[in-house]
A = this chain, B = another copy of it.
Amino acid sequence: MQAIGFEKVDITGGFWADKQKLNREVTIRSVHDRFADTGRFRAFEFTWKEGSDEPKPHFFWDSDIAKWLESAADIIAKTPDPGLLAEVDRVIDLIEEHMDPDGYFNIYHTVVEPELRFKNRDHHELYCLGHLIEAAVAYRTATGSDRFIDVLDKYVDLVIKAFVTEKTAAFATPGHEEIELALIKLYRVRPDRKYLDLAMFFLNERGKKEERLGDWAKGMYNQSHLPVREQRTAEGHSVRACYLYSAMADAAKETGDEALFTACKAIFDDITQKKMYISGGVGSSHMGEAFTVAYDLPNDTAYNETCAAIALSFFADRMKDLELDSRYADVVEREMYNGVIAGLSLDGRSFFYENPLEINLIDRVRHPSVSADDRLPITQRLEVFGCSCCPPNVTRYIASIGGTAVSADENAVYLHQFMPMTADTPFGKLSVETDYPRNGKIKISLSADEASGKKPRLYVRIPGWCRNYAFSAPYSVEKGYAVFETDGREFSLEADLSMKVELYRADRRARADAGRVAVMYGPVLYCAEAVDNGSELFDLRLDEDCEPGISYDSYFGANVIKMKAYRTEPAPDALLYLVSDPPKKETEAKLIPYYAFANRGESDMAVWLRKA
């Protein structure tokens, strides 16, 4: 299957057009300004010296700006913006200006600790280069110019020399994966074999004995515990892990390496069947921001870094290009409407690093000796943080969201995600009209180029959440996709993916969810907030047999749900323990999209609720 780049998808309205507009008009500027406030942009002038007033650059600042550059390029690709382009060009100028004659570029390891170049595996130099490469590829797509790639090409040559040819570097593979997927992305736009070879070198070297250097469980933290082809479970730091798995999927695609594909499939199953929150969040523990053991999904202490949801979406999106199976695009969709956008405030200015599935504000005062900043879970989004990887990851994710929607190969067009759009496919223009995810009615048309004589098939994903669906044309079902034969001319179709309020149970082994249900409507996960329902949400019990009310709420830009529910009265006689159920009273639960929680002040919140 041949992936289609996002640049060929034009989102014409609806949920994602609104998000992209907010991203373009507010978020990209807000992230820019916070990065400027904190000295990240100025760091590219290489003026920091010991004792100077400037903030000392951190060794991952290059990557923060790189993701901002990539986001800006993605935006410019769809909506020309000369001012924004000038800002991007200015940073590229600075990179070119301050690059060492040998091609090396890294702010921290030039102005702060130059003696540590390629000496510390955990110092993110290759991670930063990876993000710069992704930005350069996006810049090329947006502008048609190879300039940024050409600048970085010299650095890539230096890396090949230091790591592959002369092995002067003090380590063999990066402590934080990212460069691997970036090199393959670069290879796809400039098919120079050296890029793919370097990516394969890093993949092949990882987990060899000498790389098992981490101080945590023999290298699990950065997936160096086993050679990548022998890995079968998701382990360690969840962002590192999913960037690696994305690169493995890319490599399997480019090389046809079956062992990599097998590893990717097993890891994907391990994540999605045992280690993924219903929101799509992964990395349940704050210790190491890591995957833990199967079914270990605590809700209030859920870590769920926003970047990890993005990284899993990347991995799933790549898997869909390796194998026809709707569950890959299902996971992308789960991240789109839940795991990733929970990380962004509705006003587009603030971000969660962690994304809990339950907040009980009482926890924040149970230990008077713990300072407010150290308390879990986090309850409010912030505009910028010390380790501010998530904000520019969200901006690039939203700017490039169309890229997940459509793909094609020599015989067919595949519609994976539903949004109003037009897309140029090898067989002609694909048009989609829909209010999705407000409802599941979708009009699809493929204006095939009749002159070509080709009669492409059209594959339309049947989402995993959908139990009742109808199509206006004959179809067969293949691996979760409805398959339509076209006649090589204009082909039109109406799909009705019937949405109803569904109460999900977790597998019995997911301890934190035992006896509870989570509410979804279509792809959107819901939650209860105290601001609507009062606190003590663990006492709120949904009536599964009620007829839920669905209504559009313009504040959330989404449906809200109302359900009959029950609340317990306080126990009589102030008894802490009593032998019968205390009196209950009927109430109405108001549920809002999970992604919209914490937009109306600090509030208790719960995704998993009890049943009456």
Contact = CB atoms under 8 A, between A and B. Distances in A.
Interface of A: 215-217, 220-221, 269, 272-274, 276, 278, 285, 287-288, 290, 292-293, 295-296, 360, 362-363, 365-370, 467, 502-511, 514-516, 518, 536, 538-539, 567-571, 574-582, 610
Nearest to A235: B368
Contact of A507 (B514, B575, B610): B575
Nearest to A271: B576
A510 B576 CA distance: 8
Nearest to A284: B366
A216 B536 CA distance: 27
A579 to B, nearest CB: 5
A519 to B, nearest CB: 11
A257 to B, nearest CB: 25
Contact of A274 (B278, B285, B576, B579): B576
Contacts of A571: 505, 507-508
A586 to B, nearest CB: 15
A285 B365 CA distance: 12
B502 A514 contact: no
A369 B290 CA distance: 11
B370 A287 contact: yes
Given A503-B579, A511-B538, 20 more contacts: A215-B369, A216-B369, A217-B369, A221-B369, A276-B576, A287-B367, A287-B369, A287-B370, A290-B367, A293-B365, A504-B578, A505-B580, A505-B582, A506-B576, A507-B575, A507-B576, A507-B577, A508-B569, A514-B538, A518-B577
Given A288-B369, A366-B292, A610 B514 contact: yes
A540 to B, nearest CB: 10
**Among A290, A362, A514, A580: residue with most chain B CB under 10 A:** A514
A216 B370 CA distance: 9
Given A269-B574, A514-B538, A367 B507 contact: no
A217 to B, nearest CB: 3
